[in-house]
Amino acid sequence: MNSVHSAFTIVLASASPRRSQLLALSGADVHVHPVGVAEQTRPGETPESLVQRLADAKAEAALTAAHDAQLVLGADTIVVKDGRILGKPTSAEDAEAMLMSLAGRTHDVLTGLTLIEPASGRRAACVTLSRVPMRGYSQEEIRDYVATGSPMDKAGAYGIQDEDINPVDLAAFADCYTNVMGMPLCQLGQALSALGYRPPRDLGQICQSYGRHVIAPWQGEVQGAA
């Protein structure tokens, strides 16, 4: 049986301020180390396979920065509408087009997480999917929101937490809020537990406090466990 670690350091392989803020809520010691990974989709690759592959690649690329850290975490989030993957907008016009295509409709947000324990090579990985209903915001609201610059670093050109537009119909939303932000804390907590780590704070409770959703059973896999 694995021993339980209640104090540990995580290297986060991401430049996302939202991911680092959410991860810091765990109480773990977080070191941010962004990595460059090509994010092109491979022929025939499903959205689930894509986010898991990219999360794996990011975690592996950050292993050189692990030093004395107990864990390395890679994450990737994509927006999928009608089978098409929406990345970060390339221009204000692109952001406006993305937001208009999402208005009043439901799409999927998927986040892949990969935790690696450098000392042992063990890893836990999962993909979390949320169905996201958008409200029917107006073209004027879109223009005002894009003018703030906030959509430009976000997949799908929006943040569920952005009060400049409040894009999601939260009354109809029933899945993981923090997943749409890019870090499903409920699944992260279960991934940590699967590797024998217990955060100082309850990630499941923190995740529930963010939005209306039920914490799903652990949907990932553990590799290299003793």
Which of 29, 56, 68, 76 is catalytic? The answer is 76
153 is catalytic: no
∠ at Cα 114 (112, 120), nearest 5°? 170
SS3 state at 176: coil
The b-or-e profile of 7-41 (16+ CB within 10 A means b, else e) is: ebebbbbbebebbbebbebbbbebbbbebebebee
**Active-site residue set:** 76
